């Protein structure tokens, strides 16, 4: 007979499950404790990392300050920075200075200066931002409090390497006003972003709205309020160069239009592939950069696509509505813009002025379609302004009215150039673009022949032939330099040269730098371009290496003080102020003249054409008005 198993006690399973539950609870509590400890440790290491990054930044700056302090030039550098600030930053402005607490770097006449970074009480914080995000956040806070400019002395240049995202933010959002080996200054402007109901060519609509913080709103009120008392028309400039490129005729004249009471909208070549149809950025008082949405174009090779052209036109139309544009003048400086400028002008009955300053067919990369567009621009413009006799002749073939207004100079800026100290090797100098029209072989031949001379060639070398120049020990190529520092470079020259190749492009040029060099009183030796021949004997003329050497030697051996005074007097009579006066008069005449009926035909995206009848200009014939002052100098002055 089988034995029965004894029954288990009824409470045995209950005790087992309770023991397991207790054990698991203890394990979970232990895990929570370990997690809490890990989080605490992670927070500690994060804080330590931020502290180390700040300490590393502080050490880098301290090393540079120490090195600069050891140098006897540090105090002189601070004085030079002050001079730069006084000549660059307007009075009553507020600067944010990366100073490491150095009080000497925040002392400026008629200008406020704040240490950066700073604590809640507005004094130097004693540490550096841990990362770019922290730096940008602190800068934005100071901007909202009224900071207008950011000053980086040369001891803080490492910021732009250490804080890479900060550098990118500054370059994309703000304007680099000045930079050289002493300091960098950014204009801290607020970008006004405008979104309209314009349709993108791909059919995507964007709602109408406006974004911005309190500072943006304040700036937008200044710009956007409808001023019923404003009588001068706005100026829409379709430029040949971007504003922050080499500072010359486009920027000089537009600044003077703004100073005379016009609002200037200066379009940029840097199109944005996505985003809102247009954005505005303040460049100078009453001068606003307009950035349009569109594909990337080369202004010398590309042609505006019809679809994007219509989209850009609608964006400009929205801009006019949002910014209360009542009347305007279209100033076109490059035929690349003509399809867009023509549509914008014809739709709003604006007058068109073509400021022709280059022989565009002379550029080796010019698109033939751009040359056709320029011919139409000549024919349709209410006024054509040319900068040289060769361009004048070209314009007269097609244009209704032509006024010749040559280039000029900022006399006070370049008259400040000092004189080369005696006892040094002669310096033969050039500044400007070192491109394919620069005669590198001529300069290389001179450098090889006269190894007792130094050749200082200041400017961008893009598209330049440097093969022989780089092999010469007596040739220096420091690269592109800011406009504000050009008098200092010019001061190093004993003799300036214009060694251009003779081709269709240079034959039509009226060199801006000739007027600037004359303002300094420096002697100039140039190839005999049509625009330079009438300037003799203020400028010496030479074509070959032998002739250049002979004319340079003549200036070095027997400098003529009387000619120096005559050069300065000529430059004083050919300033940008005088050029603007003539251009303003020509514009007023254009606006006052009745317009003949002109057919403006614009391409439509559907392949057809839109014909708009514009009121316009009684044909005054091909009479050309000379508007530049005393082009042939009076050498008896």
Give the residue extent of every domain in the chain.
Answer: 70-187, 233-408+596-637, 411-572
143 closest CA partner among 167, 106, 174, 181: 174
pLDDT tier for residue 579 given thresholds of 50, 70 and 90: very high
Q: How far is CA 539 from the centre of its chain?
A: 31
Across 423-581, the runs of DSSP E, i.e. the strands, are: 427-431, 454-458, 475-479, 495-498, 524-526, 539-541
At residue 118, the 3 state secondary structure works out as strand
Q: What is the mean pLDDT of residues 141-160?
A: 88
In the predicted structure, residue 148 carries a pLDDT above the cut 60: yes
What mean pLDDT comes out for the span 60-85?
69
pLDDT in tens, 35-44: 888 887 887 7
Fold match between domain 233-408+596-637 and domain 411-572: yes
How much is the CA Rg of the chain, to the nearest whole Å?
32
**Omega of the bond prior to 295 within 30 degrees of 0, cis?**
no
The three-class DSSP label of residue 556 is helix
CB atoms within 10 A of CB 381: 29
- Lowest model confidence (mean pLDDT) among 141-155, 464-478, 513-527: 141-155
Terminus-to-terminus CA distance in the chain, angstroms? 146
pLDDT of residue 25: 84
pLDDT on residue 124: 87
Identify whether the C-beta of residue 281 lies closer than 8 Å to the C-beta of residue 264.
no
Average pLDDT, the chain: 81
**pLDDT over threshold 70, residue 144:** yes
HSE-CB at 566 with a 13 A cutoff on CA atoms is: 18
Distances (CA, A) of 361 to 327, 334, 364, 498: 33, 12, 8, 22
264: nearest Cα among 277, 251, 273, 248: 251
Nearest to 388 by CA among 402, 374, 373: 402
Dump pLDDT digits (tens) for 381-439: 999 999 999 999 999 999 999 999 999 999 999 998 877 655 579 999 999 999 989 99
Q: Is the pLDDT of residue 27 over 80?
A: yes
- For residues 587 and 597, what is the distance between their CA atoms, to the nearest angstrom? 19
Q: Is the pLDDT of residue 302 over 90?
A: no
pLDDT of residue 635: 39
- Comparison of pLDDT for 597 and 511, the residue scoring more: 511
What percentage of the chain carries pLDDT values higher than 90? 44
CATH number among 1.10.10.350, 3.40.50.720, 3.40.50.300, 3.40.50.2000, domain 411-572: 3.40.50.2000
For the beta sheet containing 175-179, the strands, ordered from the edge strand earlier in sequence to the opposite edge, are 112-116, 94-98, 149-153, 183-187, 175-179
Helix axes 338-348, 368-380, angle to 10 degrees: 30
pLDDT at 566 over 80: yes
Say whether 585 sits in a helix, a strand or coil: helix
- Interval 571-575 mean pLDDT: 97
Q: Which pLDDT score is estimated for 370?
A: 85
Rounded-to-integer distance, Cα 514 and Cα 567, Å: 10
Please determine, for residue 194, whether its predicted confidence score (pLDDT) is greater than 60. no
Query: Looking at residues 567-589, what average pLDDT do you find?
Result: 96
- DSSP code at position 435: S
pLDDT, one tens digit per residue, over 96-137 is 999 888 888 899 988 889 999 988 778 888 888 888 888 998
CA dist., res. 580 & res. 264, Å (int): 14
CA–centroid distance for 565 within its chain: 33
pLDDT over 70 at 498, yes or no: yes
CATH 3.30.70.1230 fits 233-408+596-637, yes or no: no
User: Sign (positive/negative) of CA torsion 124, 130, 135, 137?
Assistant: negative
CA dist., res. 399 & res. 338, Å (int): 15
d(CA 65, CA 494): 35
State the pLDDT confidence band at 87, using cuts at 50, 70 and 90: confident
pLDDT tens figures, 1-19: 555 666 655 555 566 677 7
Q: Is the pLDDT of residue 338 over 90?
A: yes
């Amino acid at each position: 007979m089988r034995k029965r198993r004894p029954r288990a006690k009824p409470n045995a399973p209950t005790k087992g499950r309770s023991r397991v539950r207790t054990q698991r609870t203890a394990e979970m509590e232990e895990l929570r404790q370990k997690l809490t400890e890990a989080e605490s440790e992670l927070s500690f290491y994060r804080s330590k990392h931020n502290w180390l990054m700040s300490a590393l930044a502080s050490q880098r700056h301290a090393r540079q300050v120490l090195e600069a302090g050891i140098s006897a030039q540090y105090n002189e550098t601070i004085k030079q920075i002050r001079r730069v600030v006084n000549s660059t930053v307007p009075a009553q402005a507020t600067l944010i200075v990366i100073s490491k607490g150095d009080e000497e770097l925040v002392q400026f006449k008629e200008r406020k200066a704040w240490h950066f970074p700073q604590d809640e009480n507005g004094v130097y914080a004693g540490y550096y931002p841990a990362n770019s995000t922290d730096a940008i956040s602190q800068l934005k806070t100071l901007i909202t409090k009224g900071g207008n400019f950011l000053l980086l002395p040369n001891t803080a240049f490492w910021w732009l390497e250490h804080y890479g995202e900060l550098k990118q933010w500054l370059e994309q959002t703000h304007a680099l006003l000045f930079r050289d080996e002493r300091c960098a200054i950014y204009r801290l402007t607020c970008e006004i972003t405008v979104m309209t109901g314009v349709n993108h060519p791909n059919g995507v609509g964007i709602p109408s709205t406006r974004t911005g913080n309190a500072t943006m709103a304040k700036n937008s009120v200044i710009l956007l309020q409808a001023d019923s008392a404003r009588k001068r028309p706005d100026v829409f400039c379709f430029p040949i160069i971007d504003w922050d490129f080499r500072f010359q005729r486009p920027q000089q004249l537009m600044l003077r239009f703004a100073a005379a009471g016009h609002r200037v909208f200066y379009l940029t070549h840097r199109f944005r592939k996505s985003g809102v149809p247009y954005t505005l950025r303040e460049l100078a008082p009453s001068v606003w950069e307009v950035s349009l949405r569109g594909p990337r174009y080369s202004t010398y090779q590309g042609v505006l696509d019809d679809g994007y052209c219509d989209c850009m036109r609608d964006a400009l139309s929205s801009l006019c509505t949002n910014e209360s544009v009542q009347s305007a003048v279209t100033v076109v400086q490059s035929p690349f813009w003509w399809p867009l400028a023509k549509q914008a002008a014809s739709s709003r009955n604006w007058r068109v002025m073509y400021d022709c300053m280059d022989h565009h067919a002379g550029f080796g990369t010019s698109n033939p379609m751009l040359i056709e567009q320029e011919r139409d621009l000549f024919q349709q413009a209410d006024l054509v302004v040319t900068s040289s006799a060769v361009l004048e002749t070209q314009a007269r073939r097609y244009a209704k009215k032509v006024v010749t207004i040559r280039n000029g100079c900022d006399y006070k800026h370049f008259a400040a150039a000092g004189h080369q100290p005696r006892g040094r090797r002669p310096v033969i100098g050039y500044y400007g673009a070192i491109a394919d029209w620069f005669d590198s072989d001529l300069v290389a031949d001179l450098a090889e022949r006269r190894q007792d001379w130094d050749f200082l060639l200041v400017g961008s070398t893009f598209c330049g032939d440097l093969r022989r120049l780089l092999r010469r020990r007596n040739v220096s190529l420091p690269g592109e330099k800011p406009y504000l520092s050009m008098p200092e470079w010019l001061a190093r020259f004993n003799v300036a040269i214009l060694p251009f190749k003779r081709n269709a492009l240079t034959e039509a040029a009226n060199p801006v730098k000739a007027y600037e060099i004359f303002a300094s009183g420096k002697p100039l030796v140039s190839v005999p371009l049509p625009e330079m021949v009438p300037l003799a004997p203020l400028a010496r003329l030479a074509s070959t290496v032998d002739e250049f050497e002979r004319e340079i030697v003549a200036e070095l051996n027997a400098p003529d003080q009387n000619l120096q005074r005559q050069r300065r007097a000529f430059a004083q009579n050919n300033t940008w102020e005088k050029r603007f006066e003539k251009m303003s008069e020509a514009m007023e005449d254009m606006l006052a003249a009745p317009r003949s009926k002109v057919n403006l035909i614009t391409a439509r995206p559907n392949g057809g054409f839109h014909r708009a009848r514009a009121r316009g200009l009684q044909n005054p014939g091909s009479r050309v008005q000379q508007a530049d002052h005393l082009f042939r100098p009076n050498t008896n002055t």
